[in-house]
């Protein structure tokens, strides 16, 4: 019994120390790690956040492996990355163990493109094997690919619901199973889950999307605990949960117009820069903007009816409805054109 009591006090001290170290990072921001020369796989790299992640990692000298289902858009991202590489025609600096700086020969990073449908398990495994043969072992995995059906639940075909779940959630299992074993063997790697604030708290009209993001976050958190249990301290995990991002994915989504100036959709560039800061400092989780942390906490302690009242005040309860209406109108227009 005394041992349990003693261990309990040790746990309390460790928890308090965790608060102290977290607070210290606000005062003295941690140094960003180097990813120069490391192999980074990015899914959904052909557009949106994936393309911006590719450009950010390229600026830091990483070797990029771009996955996307769209070959043309993926090649467009690759061309942007090559242009960035040309601008990096300077020797890479590295720190010696004693803290000095040594100039090393110029490293020429490369970009590799692969057409991969992460919604198909065997396609993921075969593409991962091809990457290992042609590029080498993967150091960083960015699970970014995502889709949204854009239908109310009762109007959504089952196939689109399944597609949303597979791409947004199940694909994370498959990419991780493909690349994690070598990371564990080398005790080196970083896995990033690009989720959403809609994986922390939900709203009406996007049941399939919310469920897929809740699932991705649950997978990420469980995997983080498993890596901690295995005592592989060289493997990092970062969960990215942005608020609505101003991309084509949720074009038209709007909260209450009086509130929107204070909580506008995020600029994709800002979202990725915040995420990159978290990744390069091995931060376990980043929510953008910071109010997302507060909303998630309030959801955990407030009665459901209180949450409903807040949603209605903010216009968050029906924020997806304009987006869904636009999707429906676009689909009707396409069907009319095809009919003609």
CB environment 75-89: b (16+ within 10 A), e (fewer): bbbbebbeebbeebe
Q: Is 40 within 8 Å of 88 (Cβ atoms)?
A: no
Which active-site residues does the annotation give?
209
Distance in angstroms between the alpha carbons of the first and the last residue of the chain: 80
In the numeric block, which tokens belong to residue 171? 């694909």
Tell me the chain's radius of gyration from C-alpha atoms.
Answer: 22
* Phi-psi sector, 220: left (phi>0), alpha (psi -120 to 50), beta: alpha
* Ordered DSSP codes for 83-133: HHHHHT-SPPEEE-TTS-EEE-PPP---EEEEE--TTSHHHHHHHHHHHHH
Number of helices (H), then strands (E), belonging to the chain: the values are: 11, 9
Tell me how crowded residue 200 is: count the other CB atoms within 10 A of its CB.
Answer: 21
């Amino acid at each position: 019994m005394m041992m349990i009591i003693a261990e309990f006090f040790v746990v309390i001290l460790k928890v308090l120390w965790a608060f102290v170290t977290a607070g210290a990072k606000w005062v003295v921001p941690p140094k960003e790690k180097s990813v120069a020369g490391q192999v980074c796989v990015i899914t959904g790299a052909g557009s949106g956040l994936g393309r911006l992640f590719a450009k950010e990692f390229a600026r830091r000298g990483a070797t990029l492996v771009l996955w996307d289902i769209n070959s043309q858009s993926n090649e467009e991202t690759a061309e942007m990355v090559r242009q960035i590489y040309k601008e990096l025609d300077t020797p890479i600096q590295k720190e010696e163990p004693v803290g000095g700086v040594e100039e090393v020969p110029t490293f020429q990073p490369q970009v590799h493109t692969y057409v991969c449908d992460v919604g198909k398990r065997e396609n993921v495994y075969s593409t991962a094997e091809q990457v290992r043969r042609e590029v080498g072992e993967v150091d960083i995995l960015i699970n970014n690919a995502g889709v949204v059906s854009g239908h109310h639940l009762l109007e959504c075909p089952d196939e689109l619901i399944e597609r949303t779940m597979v791409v947004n959630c199940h694909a994370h299992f498959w990419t991780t199973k493909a690349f994690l074993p070598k990371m564990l063997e080398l005790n080196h790697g970083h896995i990033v889950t690009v989720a959403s604030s809609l994986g922390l708290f939900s709203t009406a009209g996007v049941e399939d999307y919310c469920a897929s993001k809740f699932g991705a976050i649950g997978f990420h958190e469980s995997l983080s605990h498993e890596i901690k249990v295995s005592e592989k301290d060289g493997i990092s995990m970062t969960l990215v949960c942005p608020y609505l991002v101003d991309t084509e994915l949720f074009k038209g989504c709007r909260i209450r117009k009086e509130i929107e100036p204070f909580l506008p959709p995020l600029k994709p560039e800002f979202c990725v820069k915040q995420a990159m800061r978290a990744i390069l400092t091995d931060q376990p989780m980043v929510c953008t903007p910071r109010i997302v942390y507060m909303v998630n906490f309030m959801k955990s302690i407030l009665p459901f009816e209180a949450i409903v009242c807040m949603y209605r005040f903010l216009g968050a309860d029906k924020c997806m409805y304009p987006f869904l209406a636009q999707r429906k109108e676009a689909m009707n227009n396409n069907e009319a054109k095809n009919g003609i």
